A = this chain, B = another copy of it.
Amino acid sequence: MTNIRKVAELAGVSVATVSRTLKTPDIVSPGTRDRVLAAVEQAGYRPNLMAVQFRSQRTRNLVVLVPTIANTFFARVIGGIQEAAQRRGYGILLCNTLGDERAERAYAGMVSTRQADGLIQLRAYDPFGASSAEARPPMVNACEVLDEAPCPTVKLDNRAAARAVTEHLLSLGHRRIGMIKGPRNSPLTRDRLLGFQDALAAAGLAPDESLWCPGDFTLRSGHRAAGDLLSQSEPPTAIFCENDEMAMGALRRIREAGLRVPEDISVAGFDDIAFASFCDPSLTTIAQPAEDFGRVAVSLLLDVIDERDEAADQHCIMPFELVVRESTGPSA
Report the copy number of this chain in the oligomer: 2
Say which one of A7-15, A227-235, A272-280 lies at the interface with B: A272-280
| Sample (16) of A-B pairs whose CB atoms are under 8 Å apart | A46-B109, A49-B110, A49-B113, A50-B53, A61-B93, A70-B72, A72-B72, A72-B75, A75-B75, A82-B95, A82-B96, A91-B95, A248-B275, A252-B279, A275-B275, A275-B279
A206 within 8 Å of B (CB atoms): no
Which residues of B lie under 8 Å from residue A153 when comparing CB positions?
none
A215 close to chain B: CB less than 8 A? no
A70 to B75 Cα, complex, angstroms: 5
Determine the chain B residues whose CB is within 8 A of the CB of A75 once the complex forms: 69-70, 72, 75
Is A299's CB within 8 Å of the partner chain B? no
A252 touches B274 (CB 8 A): no
Which residues of the partner chain B approach A140 to less than 8 Å between Cβ atoms?
none
Does A47 interact with chain B (Cβ within 8 Å)?
yes
A76 at the interface (CB under 8 A from B): yes
Give the Cβ gap from A136 to chain B, nearest Cβ, in Å. 13
A83 and B98 alpha carbons, distance in the complex (Å): 10
For A61, give the chain B residue with the smallest CB separation: B93
Judged by a CB distance under 8 angstroms, whether A48 is at the interface is yes
From 94 to 121 in chain A, residues with beta carbon under 8 angstroms from any chain B beta carbon are 94-96, 103, 109-110, 112-115
Is A92 at the interface (CB under 8 A from chain B)? yes
Residues of B within 8 Å of A59, CB to CB, are 50
Residues of B close to A113: CB separation below 8 A: 46-49
Whole-angstrom distance from the CB of A66 to the nearest CB of chain B? 10
Extra 4 A-B pairs, beta carbons < 8 Å, given A69-B82, A70-B274, A75-B75: A46-B109, A47-B113, A53-B115, A92-B93
- CB neighbours (8 Å) of A91 from chain B are 93, 95, 110, 115
Is A51 in contact with chain B by the CB < 8 A criterion? yes
A251 within 8 A of B: yes
List the 7 closest pairs (A to B, CB-CB), nearest first.
A94-B94, A49-B113, A54-B54, A280-B280, A82-B96, A50-B114, A252-B278
Find residues 55-83 in chain A having any chain B CB closer than 8 Å to their own CB: 57, 59, 61, 68-70, 72, 75-76, 78-79, 82-83
A249 touches B278 (CB 8 A): yes
A23 at the interface (CB under 8 A from B): no
Bound complex: CA A174 to CA B25 (Å): 68
Interchain nearest-CB distance for A94 vs B (Å): 4
Q: Enumerate chain B residues within 8 angstroms of A92, measured Cβ to Cβ.
A: 93-94
Q: Are B83 and A78 in contact, with the CB atoms below 8 A?
A: no
A96 surroundings in chain B (CB, below 8 A): 78-79, 82-83
